[in-house]
Structure formats: C-alpha cells, structure tokens
Structure 1
C-alpha cells in the first residue's frame, strides 16, 4: 500500500519521479512498482538513480542508458545528482528584434526561480522595449543591441551551473518555510528556505537579505559566487540566540538612510488612510497632480493599466493592506464591497482632480455654467451627479442621476473600454447608451469614438 501511494503521488504523465532514503527501500519500490504496472499491461522502464548499489540490483534492460535525463523541464545529471536549468544557446546574429528578444527570454525554464536575479534583467530589458513602443520586428538601436548582447551572452552561462538535487531532511525534525521579501524600483521578489524556526518574523538589513539581489538583478558569474542567495544569510546556520537583533533605537547613520530610502511605502499608506478613512476635514482627499489628466491614487498610476477591473482590483488589495496594518482581520478573496469602495475612490479622485471648481460652486451655492447646464449635485458620498431633466423620467436610479466623469481622462477611457467589452464589443452608440445608465461624460459620443480609435488603432478620415 505504501508503494502504491508513492506511485499515485509521483506520476507525471508517463514518468514516475520519486526517491527513497535507502537502497533496500529502492529495491522494494522497484519490485512492487514493476508488478503494479505489469498487472496493467504496462512496462515501467528506464530506471535511473544516483546509487550504483541500487542499479546493480536491477536488470540492464530496465536501466536508463543516458547520463542526463529531463525531469519536469530541468536536466538531471545522474552521476553527480545535480539539476541544470535549461537555456537555449544564443545562436542569433545581431542585429535583433523585440520578437527575438522575447523568444530568448522565454527559452529559460526556471520554475523554482534559482536564477531569478539573472532572468530579471531580461524581463526588464523587454519591458524597456515595450515602453519604447517598438514593433515586434523593428530592429533594436545600436545602444540597445549592445546592452542585449551582454544580457544574452550571460544567459548562456546558466547551463554551466549545477544545483544539488537532494536535500537531506530527517523525518523526526519539523521544518518550516522561511521567507525573505524585498522590493526595489525595478521589481519585488522573495526567497524561500527550509529552516527549523520557532519565531517567524525578523527585520533583516538589505545587505543580509537574499531577496534583495532578486529584486535588482545580477549576472550569472556574480550569482554563482553569492553564497547568500544559494544558502541564505550566514547566521542561519547558527543557533537562534546568535541571530542578529535589530534595535530601532541604536541605528547607524548608513543603516538609517537605508531604512528611510526603503520605507517609501509610508507615504503611500498615509495617502491610503486619507482616502480610506476620510481626511481631517471630513472629506475624502484626492492624491495626485490636479493638472494631470492621468490620475494617481495610492501612488498607483492608472495609465499603466490596460483594463478598469485590474485597476480596481489592485487598488482594493492596497486598501485591504492598509486595513490589516490597522489590525483589522481580513482574509479570503476580495469582496464586492471592497471592489465597489475602490471604484468609488477612483471616481471621487478624478472628480476632485478635474472638477474641483465645480465642487466648490455646488458646496457654496455659486453660479457655474456646468452646474446649471447639467443640474449637478453632490450625493451623500460627495460624488458629483447629474440630475438635469431626467429626474422625473421612468429610468433606473443610475440613469436618472448619472455620475459625472471628465473627458480626456485615463480612468474614463478605461471605463469606456470595460463597458465596451462587457457588452460584447458593441458599437459606439450602444456603448455610449450603456455608459449613460450609470455615468455622464461631456461630449460623450466624441469620447467613446476616440476610445474606439485607440482600442482598434482606427484612423479618422
């Protein structure tokens, strides 16, 4: 029964990938597994092991006759029992295109992230090409080609590094996962190690944090020599009482500067609390440049999002994070209420950003052309709504008092795109009609047409 359970848990398509802790157990597994598969009229063959003693116990015809085998996308060198990450050799002759860069980036299969600090450089380079809006088959500039050469040739060295496959774990010892996290302006990363641990949270200085290198990127040659990445900080091998302790009242000037530079999140959290918990004047505060048509909330640049729902979900997760910092216990998937709250904050943010004078006019009961034209009011959530002539119409509440949205604004553009997709890619008139069930955009038809032109790269004739 034990061997049967081993087989059930370790079959991948037509391969069985498993291991045991002794030659005797290996022989037992071989005999019982052969019998189980034989009963099903299948021949379990090409057995491979790093134990010569075991291989002498099984027939030659059942043994793999290769020194290296593919194991779940990695290369296993049997003799020294190591794994190698596969990376296609650089055969391209320069110059090169974005399509070929992506092909090279995708050629590295590293599911466990051993070479994340190296592959990050390739992803950042590809991201840079996207930001330049380069076409797939457009030739790179000479400067970009030189940078890519350095990165690409470095990838060739990945296959030269052999990673020990086996980790000896005594069955009587309880292990836990020890996770290090870090972020830079380029990326965020984590590095996870097995360790026996009673306390779960420590502050680790950047220079001793193995996740730091994965958030910044490096070369293969430097990564090979980086013991901290492969084994964790040196103090992990010591007794827990000898681990470094962080005293916040006794920090050197260098460390203080490092901590302050990495604690930029405090600004975001402050802004989030203003937005989520209302400002000191009882009103929601808008974060961002009032002259910008892009829009920022919680330091989130909405121009970097391709869909409205993604923007709202990211904002909702940030708001949940703020609540957890305030000791509120929240878990599980995002709720509809959280998503609706995030959407409301974005609407209030763009309204205050683009209709600040209108808000003041409504509150102080002053004359304003837009207020009188559209019959603008502030609802109980301080959201600007249009009443106009629709107040007595037989329409839904949303259509009677639609929310005012600015034209030439990224959030409005994302909402139009979302409504267009939600209604199965209908035309301009139908999309505008669907938008007006909830929102009102000045010169709405023109805005929807412009959004369509961007979505489908249409040229106005």
Structure 2
C-alpha cells in the first residue's frame, strides 16, 4: 500500500511521521540540524510556522527544507507566505500562496491569510477575527455553534467567549429542552446582547509579535503568569517581559486561558487552587515552546490561602488540596509564587464576562505594567496557612501518646528526700516490715524475718524500680527475649535479667570461681539519684580515700555504675573533708617592711649590737628562785 487513506483517524500522525522521516533520517539527536528541528517542532500536520530575525536565514532554511523533502520523500513544499517581500522573492511564484504576488507591502491595505484557524494580516502583521455571517437558531445547537465558531487557541478574547459559555451552561441546565428546541425566553436578552457584541471582534487588532524588541535581541527575558478565580470561572494569563541593555523593559501577551467553574461543590479557595494549577500548565507549555528556563518564571495570585498551602511545611491537607499542591510544586517552587493585589491582577478579567470594547483597554491584552512599576519584586515573603483550625481542607493535628504501665507504685522521685543510702534502705525496709505485718496473708514466718533480710530485699527493690524507670525498653526487650535496640546505651554490656528481675552485666565469667555478684554486677544508671547515694556511702566506708579505693569498693559489692569514674570524680571534688585532707598548705603573705628599715641613716641608729655577752658574774638565791648580776664592758 503506497497511498494512505485521507481522513482516517491516524492520518495526521502518519503525515507527521512521513514529513519527519523524509527530512531527518539520523539515528541520534546530535546529528540533526536546524531543518530537522524546524519539521519536528514547528510543523502542525501540513502547516509550518516559523519566526526569525534574519530574512536571509529563514529563506535559506525553507529552501533547504524544500530540497530535502523532494529528495527524501518527493514531497513538494508550497503555499509559502511571509510578511517580508525579500523572503517571498527568494522562491518561485509556483511555490507561493495564491494571490500573494499581488500584495503591495507599501500600502495600508489588509491582506488576510488563514494560518491554523487564525486570521493574519500579512501587511500589518496583526491578528484579527472573522465571524460567520450565517444566522443560527436560538437553540442549544445554535448557541454552541456560535460559541465554537470563535477560534481562539491563544486566548486573546477568552473573557469575551466566557459570556457565551455562561449562557450555554444555563441552557444546558434545563434538561426538558431538546437540542433543536427553542430556548427559554429569560435567556433571550442575555444571548442577544452577547451576540451583538461579537460584531466588534472583527475590528479588534492584536500585534503578532510579543514585544517590539525581538527575543533574540533582548538581554534578559522573564515569564510572568497570573491566576485568579471567581464563582463563575477560573483563569490564568501569561506575559513575557523583555529587557534591553539599558534596562528598559517591555511586556507582551503570550497565552491566556479561561475555564468555567463547577456549579457546586467548590469553594473559592479551591477554585483559586485550580487556577494556580492552570498557571503551572501554561508555564510548562510556554517554557518548552519558547525555551525559557524555569528559573526565569514567576507566578502571581491574589489568594493568600493558596500561598499558605504552597508555603506550608507543618500541616497536612486532605486529598483534593494535597494532590493539586503536589502538581504545582512539581513544576515550580514555592519561592516563585508571589502575592498580587486583586486590583492589579489581569487574570481577574478572565473570570468575568467582558465586552470587546472593554477588552481593548483592559490589562488582559496590555499586561499589568502598573503592577511592575509599583512593586519591588525582589522582596520575598513567607506565607503561612490561614486559620488552619477553621480551614476544612487542613487535617486536624493528631497527637499520639504512649503510656507505660508500671508494675510497682513506687515513685523514684521520692528517693531524693533521703540524704544517705543507709537511711533510704532503712526507710524502705521499715515500710516493707509494716506492710508484711498488716497484710491479710501475713504468717509468723514472714513476721519472723530479720532486719538484715528486709534490708537486702529493700536494696533489690530500690535498684529494680530505678532500672524499670530508666531502662524500660531494655527490660521489655529482655522479658520478651528480643534483641536490644541499636541505640540502647546498654548494648555494649550485653545485659541479662536475673531471677529477681534485676538487670546485670553479661559476659564470659559464668564459669569462674569468684562470687556471683562480681561475675555479673547489677547495673545502676549513673545519672540516677541512688547512684550518688551509693558512691557517697562507699566513699565514707573507705574513710575518704581516693577514686580507685572508692571504685574498688563499689565493684566488690557487685555494682556496675554507668559513668562511674566521672561520677566519683564529681563527688570527691565536692567533698569538704577530702578537700581539707588533700588541700595544699597555705602560705602566709608577709606584711610591708617598716619605714625605719627603708630609710637611709648612720649605723646603729635604730639597731643595737651585743658585742661581749652577757656574762654571768654573780648568782644569789632568792625566795622565788635565783638572780644573776650582769655587767657589760664597753671599750672607750
């Protein structure tokens, strides 16, 4: 089969494949040139559209494409049309569009050409609209035919078409009226007014180029997309902003869309969020077509609720909002979204019906120049979710609490009322003895227990309560024969539970001849209060000896304190008796010398010298003892 059926469903796809195959037969994208790119990206079924700054380059590109189509697939490229006389003169007359040679580019006459459904005035390089003169019946079918007769893929007159769509929706709500039956009279006035306003569309002229400055000549290019919503419709419109070397900017319309909002079931915040989704869809299409980087795109909305949804990092939303927020953040970042006052957003025109005369002067086509002149866009503001407790789209905060049930009623914080380990053990022993005496199952054997037995049981009870409070997870894992968690502080000690339910240090000394308490010492957390009491008790037992003696006594009693050395050093440092015994000798600071010793004077002015003695000459007894007579001899 050499000829494909015309009008079949896959015919457009087959036509595109044939064009691409005839022009580009390369295996990889790296080998493709600008002719291949032109066919792949700028051809729509059998029409090709291309814009360029250089007349010479575009003429050369079309010629090379013409030759490659003839060589690769015997396909003739013809019906060429351009707004440049120089480009048209580069091709033979048989390849040009019909009557294109009769165009006088120096005159002001219009020359309309149809290009993908749009009316293009080649001489003035503007887009216009041409409406059908056929009168349609006032029925559902007639109304729909008039609305769809306005072909507006770029969205220039989306606010105007919105008025007809709203009338059509009201007509569809009456299910009793068939498609060819006359519509109710209450819609007649609105329909006639809207239909009459369409006549002004033929006088509407829209410049084909985005701005006066070509995109290739501008120093910087930015894409700005606005979104808005009302109870009737949602809308989004995109503008391109170009900058020259002097910093002067120009704003141009790129693409706009307007969609009817559902009749019920949607709040205004939901519709604003849908409009934001529509803005990201426009951004993806424009960025791919115009090759604008995503970082050069900014989004604007007048809904602070939507901005709170996008900037949120703490709350969770229900499915409707969550899915749309995810779709938005896949295309953009939250920092690209900005707030715009309602009076400045041009997307507001796409949410309400607008007449053609009002559309000419509106910001929908011209762009929000006043907004860019009055706002400092470099300032970024962080938005929060507005009233999350009231917003039905925000999930309620759920707090999960885990309750630990203890088998004993002792509160280890009460241990801090005791200043010594002995007083704490005696107090618990006294309570146990009294409880055993008044217990209903008390027997003589229980009452005959010695105080030593109660003291030992009290020590075990105190240590067990502290272990269960601080090492609850470790106790629970060992009771269930599960391995300890990797972040447990006791994992290096290989702890085990003994018959009394106490945590003890595991190891490899089970077969040794030493005492059982030294084989597997009981574990006591060093940060607990009883650890301080035990260290002080053992320190007093060794008569305030050093750290090694105190630590040795603790080990010999079968106790393993976590962080033992640090705790002992801290207690010894604060022990008053140890500081007195181990303190260094104090040195007396001498007073200042008297002035007599510092003043220059003759010898012996302030000092006397005993030259010869004294010598004892005569001694006599007295009633109280003896008396000596001393005589001194001074030389003359």
TM-score, normalised to structure 1, is 0.50
Unaligned runs of 5+ in 2: 1-32, 101-110, 243-295, 299-335, 400-636
Report if aligned partners of 1:86, 1:109 keep a CA contact under 8 Å in 2.
no
- One of 366, 376, 393 as aligned partner of 1:231: 366
Aligned pairs for 1:86-101 (under 5 A) are: 86-89=130-133, 91-92=135-136, 96-101=138-143
Report if aligned partners of 1:75, 1:84 keep a CA contact under 8 Å in 2.
yes
Provide the rounded CA distance (Å) in 2 between the counterparts of 1:268 and 1:129.
Answer: 40
| 2:53 is aligned with 1:14 | no
Aligned pairs for 1:217-256 (under 5 A) are: 217-226=353-362, 228-235=363-370, 238=373, 241=376
1:104 is displaced (CA, Å) by 1.3
Provide the rounded CA distance (Å) in 2 between the counterparts of 1:269 and 1:106.
Answer: 42
1:90 is displaced (CA, Å) by 5.5
1:33 is displaced (CA, Å) by 1.8
1:131 is displaced (CA, Å) by 2.4
Report if aligned partners of 1:3, 1:33 keep a CA contact under 8 Å in 2.
yes
Aligned pairs for 1:295-444 (under 5 A) are: none
Unaligned runs of 5+ in 1: 249-262, 281-461
Report what 2:86 is aligned to: 53
2:162 is paired with a residue whose SS is helix
Cα pair distance change 1:225/1:231, threshold 3 Å = closer
| 2:102 is aligned with 1:102 | no
Report what 1:271 is aligned to: 392
1:183 is displaced (CA, Å) by 1.0
| 2:198 is aligned with 1:155 | yes
Report what 1:73 is aligned to: 117
1:235 is displaced (CA, Å) by 3.0
2:393 is paired with a residue whose SS is helix
| 2:216 is aligned with 1:170 | yes
Provide the rounded CA distance (Å) in 2 between the counterparts of 1:120 and 1:128.
Answer: 13
| 2:189 is aligned with 1:146 | yes
Aligned pairs for 1:194-213 (under 5 A) are: 194-195=240-241, 200-213=336-349
Report what 1:5 is aligned to: 37
Provide the rounded CA distance (Å) in 1 between the counterparts of 2:90 and 2:371.
Answer: 40
Report if aligned partners of 2:47, 2:116 keep a CA contact under 8 Å in 1.
no
1:271 is paired with a residue whose SS is coil
Provide the rounded CA distance (Å) in 2 between the counterparts of 1:159 and 1:245.
Answer: 43
Report what 1:122 is aligned to: 164
Report what 2:74 is aligned to: 41
Provide the rounded CA distance (Å) in 1 between the counterparts of 2:180 and 2:389.
Answer: 39
TM-score, normalised to structure 2, is 0.37
Max Rg structure: 2
Report if aligned partners of 1:210, 1:233 keep a CA contact under 8 Å in 2.
yes
Report if aligned partners of 2:130, 2:202 keep a CA contact under 8 Å in 1.
yes
RMSD: 3.4
Report if aligned partners of 1:105, 1:123 keep a CA contact under 8 Å in 2.
yes
Report if aligned partners of 2:147, 2:165 keep a CA contact under 8 Å in 1.
yes
1:217 is displaced (CA, Å) by 1.4
2:392 is paired with a residue whose SS is helix
Provide the rounded CA distance (Å) in 2 between the counterparts of 1:236 and 1:169.
Answer: 22
1:176 is displaced (CA, Å) by 3.8
Q: Deviations over 1:373-395 (max 9, x none)?
A: xxxxxxxxxxxxxxxxxxxxxxx
1:84 is displaced (CA, Å) by 2.6
Report what 2:233 is aligned to: 187
Q: Deviations over 1:226-245 (max 9, x none)?
A: 1x111211236649748999
Residues paired across the two proteins, number: 261
Provide the rounded CA distance (Å) in 2 between the counterparts of 1:54 and 1:73.
Answer: 23
Report what 1:113 is aligned to: 155
Provide the rounded CA distance (Å) in 2 between the counterparts of 1:184 and 1:207.
Answer: 14
